Amino acid sequence: MKIKKGDNIIVIAGKDRGKTGKVSKALPASFAVVIPGLNIKKVHERPKKSGQKGQIVEKSLPIHVSNVMIVDPKTNKGTRIGKKKSGDGYVRIARRSGAVID
């Protein structure tokens, strides 16, 4: 998975299409990312203690990585990601402008 925690992304498909945000959690096992404020659903929670009432809470649920793109640092548009050898390792680059993402 090429998207990591802290990356700025734009949603390219779904009900939140066109919205941007920062990845707060990456889930590589399910190829998904969580972005606060996007893909919000109402979740019914049970009471935690006796005497307490249940609640309806709004939660940001994961979005599949195929529905998001990284925002290019130079053009502020969605871009694909490539790798470039730099010294002894690799860095991620934006395909649109060639700017280094890491």
3-state SS class at 74: coil
- Distance separating alpha carbons of residues 70 and 2, to the nearest angstrom: 9
Task: Print pLDDT tens along the chain (102 aa).
Answer: 899 999 999 999 999 999 999 999 999 999 999 999 999 999 999 998 899 999 999 999 999 999 999 999 999 999 999 999 988 999 999 999 999 987
Which pLDDT score is estimated for 69?
Answer: 96
Greatest alpha-carbon span in the chain = 61
Which pLDDT score is estimated for 77?
Answer: 94
- Distance separating alpha carbons of residues 66 and 49, to the nearest angstrom: 40
Residue 40, CA atoms < 13 Å, CB-side half-sphere: 7
Please classify residue 79 by burial: count the beta carbons closer than 10 Å to its beta carbon, then call 0-12 exposed, 13-18 middle and 19+ buried: buried
Which pLDDT score is estimated for 89?
Answer: 92
- Cβ atoms 84, 93 nearer than 8 A: yes
pTM score, whole prediction: 0.84
Which pLDDT score is estimated for 102?
Answer: 75
Domains annotated on the chain, with CATH: 8-71 (2.30.30.30), 77-102 (no CATH)
